[in-house]
Chains A and B, each alone.
Chain A
């Protein structure tokens, strides 16, 4: 069954899928990788993003990516509020490890139930002129349903990487995970910086949600299937490295696509997680992590 056509299409499909995975994992890379907060509710916020995008798309015919972008400020504020509650309840008192994890489990259920109460439990999809069409480049097929999320994910990842490496606040976010005391000595308030970082992490969920609902239908608990995969990507990439997260997401995407094409779709997860285990054996800090 092997052919150059199949191989090249599997590679491209994997890269497109990986781009989307990067968008979903990006927020978690900041929150979990840099702030060390196990926000297990992140995929639930991605689903919340999908639902608000669905609402804007159905009510006003707004393009899903644009709708996601419009909601980023609101998600940012939501992120700041969630972090402040987490800080006051757990981090400040040093109970963040187990109690903090339970807190985010609780947040996940609250988000899911809120979605159910507002939108019900039916599957939701969006409309966009490009969904259902394909760009053919030689032997390569690029479904716009995957291409648009890939491009949006690349733009978002590039933007976040630029912000974190080139601005004072961005560098402060990187610094807060490394040496909180040194940051305080520089005159920055670590709690404010962490709130800001958590807000940015959650703001990415609005766009990731838009990309998810472009790719396929969602229902309130759909985020749970992504929990394992996004944490794996963040760990594989190296905790807190945006570049590493992107590379890990692409690697997982390509390995899944190759396995789906040439071995069998049911092996896709097993092979992707084997890549994670193998990488961690050879490079415990992840692809771009520091020891």
Chain B
């Protein structure tokens, strides 16, 4: 009898506690929501051709997530990622963003890595009128003109031409002015855009274009291409390509003794430890784009701490051990989104979020960032670096200054330009 009475008492007590809890939740909905994480959704190139950068970006983004959660989260709520591998296949991207928004009900979305993987998400994002922070797309918004699009790569308000402006300004500032140029691009969206901008800049500079061709991504040997370029005797050789092409072209150029006053351009891959280390002295004298190098002029607050955390995780993740190229920017695009959300105080009003991002200069690990009307950086900071005094097979040298000397833009210039190309080889 006593046992039954005790059980009844317990049941009443439990019901009481539940009732009090429920009424508290009803009275203060914010308190219950505070426990709910903020979900940020994205697709990422975790397998396929761009997986090297995609995985490195994910490592950087996870560092940001851990950092912000340690500081108490975003709007007082923990941050959680919901992401899917797009396998570097643009066809997978629309489905992923549809699922993120309609099934996973994420609060914010950011992009995958690269032009080809950002563009397919745009129609879905635009239909939902969301702020879209994007990671390393070249001139994606030129076709969409979407006012809530933002892009973290420092290509500048006129991305196509700003991208290679430094290469041409450097060339035309020399006493022994170049007169002709050879243009070569991988048959892909990014490289073709980069070389299209270079073509415009070359025409503006009055250079004669003596070679202008594209090649397929699976090309195994570049000797015939380099030899054909050499036969046109160009003063400048500007190449837009991805890592396999970059390695093949650099090797073929050295094996065949390519002669030009300047050689380089938009070669993706010459920023990664694997290619830098193995190509080593073969890169000496080349002038190529970059976004960050351990030069004193680029020592922004927070960058060293970030790289320390990144490099500690890189080996385990099997990604680029230096992390100078993409990872700081993958951290920064989330920093900007978070700063905007905190300032606006809401996740729902994307119009206000976009206005705030347009009107503000953000302090990030990649330095101060502000955006132009089209969502690109308000001023280009595509670096032109020259490889100087590289040794063979030494990854440590790339942690120090003086190896990727920044020549352009002038406000972050860190060393002198050795011209022509042969003088620095």
Binding site for B on A (CB under 8 A): 1, 3, 6, 9-10, 13-14, 16-17, 20-21, 112-113, 116, 119-127, 131-134, 141, 143, 145-146, 215-217, 219-222, 225-226, 229, 256-258, 260-262, 264-266, 268-269
Contacts and interface: CB of A to CB of B under 8 A. Distances in A.
Given A119-B318, A217-B278, A268-B216, 8 more contacts: A16-B221, A121-B46, A121-B52, A121-B318, A134-B255, A217-B269, A219-B49, A265-B225
Contact of A125 (B221, B225, B274): B274
Interface string B224-266: 1101100110000000000110011001101110000000000
A121 B243 contact: no
Contact of B274 (A133, A217, A226): A217
16 contacts: A6-B227, A21-B220, A120-B55, A122-B320, A123-B247, A127-B278, A141-B256, A143-B255, A146-B221, A216-B247, A217-B247, A256-B224, A258-B224, A265-B215, A265-B225, A268-B216
Interface string B33-76: 00000000000001111011011000000000000000000000
A226 B319 CA distance: 24
B174 interface: no
B187 A266 contact: yes
Given A10-B227, A132-B254, A17 B272 contact: no
A113 to B, nearest CB: 8
Contacts of A268: 215-216, 219
Given A6-B228, A125-B247, A120 B317 contact: yes
Contact of A123 (B227, B243, B254, B317): B243
B30 interface: no
A223 to B, nearest CB: 10
Given A6-B227, A219-B52, A125 B275 contact: yes
A141 B255 contact: yes
Interface of B: 46-49, 51-52, 54-55, 88, 184, 187, 213-221, 223-225, 227-228, 231-232, 243-244, 247-248, 251-252, 254-256, 269, 272, 274-275, 278, 282, 317-320, 393
Contact of A9 (B227, B275, B320): B227
**Which secondary structure characterizes the binding site on chain A?**
helix
A260 B228 CA distance: 8
Given A125-B275, A220-B51, A266-B215, A20 B220 contact: yes
A269 B227 contact: no
Contacts of B256: 134, 141, 143
B393 A127 contact: yes
A269 B219 CA distance: 9
Nearest to B185: A266
B278 A125 contact: yes
Nearest to B269: A123
Contact of B215 (A3, A221, A260): A260
A122 B319 contact: yes
Contacts of A257: 221, 224
Residue among A112, A216, A226, A229 with most chain B CB within 10 A: A216
A112 B46 CA distance: 12
Contacts of A10: 224, 227
Nearest to B187: A266
A266 B255 contact: no
List of 10 A-B pairs having minimum Cβ-Cβ separation, nearest first = A120-B318, A225-B218, A265-B215, A121-B51, A260-B224, A125-B278, A143-B255, A261-B224, A266-B214, A134-B255
Contacts of A215: 220-221, 248
B51 A116 contact: yes
B223 A146 contact: yes
A181 to B, nearest CB: 42
B224 A13 contact: yes
Residue among B46, B221, B248, B251 with most chain A CB within 10 A: B221
Contact of B227 (A146, A256, A261, A266): A261
Contacts of A121: 46-47, 51-52, 54-55, 318-319
Nearest to B216: A269
Contacts of B318: 116, 119-122
Contacts of A216: 220, 244, 247-248, 251
Nearest to B321: A122
A13 B247 contact: no
Contacts of A6: 227-228, 231
Given A121-B47, A265-B214, A13 B221 contact: yes
Contact of B217 (A13, A134, A225): A225
Given A6-B228, A219-B49, A229 B278 contact: no
Nearest to B246: A217
Contacts of B244: 123, 216-217, 222
Nearest to B88: A221
Contacts of A219: 49, 51-52, 243
Given A145-B251, A266-B213, A122 B52 contact: yes
B135 to A, nearest CB: 16
Contacts of A21: 220
A16 B227 CA distance: 15
Residue among B215, B223, B243 with most chain A CB within 10 A: B223
A127 B247 CA distance: 13
Residue among B213, B224, B228, B251 with most chain A CB within 10 A: B224
Nearest to B392: A127
B223 A143 contact: yes
A4 to B, nearest CB: 12
A1 B320 CA distance: 41
A287 to B, nearest CB: 21
Contacts of A260: 215, 219, 224-225, 228
Contacts of B55: 120-121
A257 B252 CA distance: 14
A220 B47 contact: yes
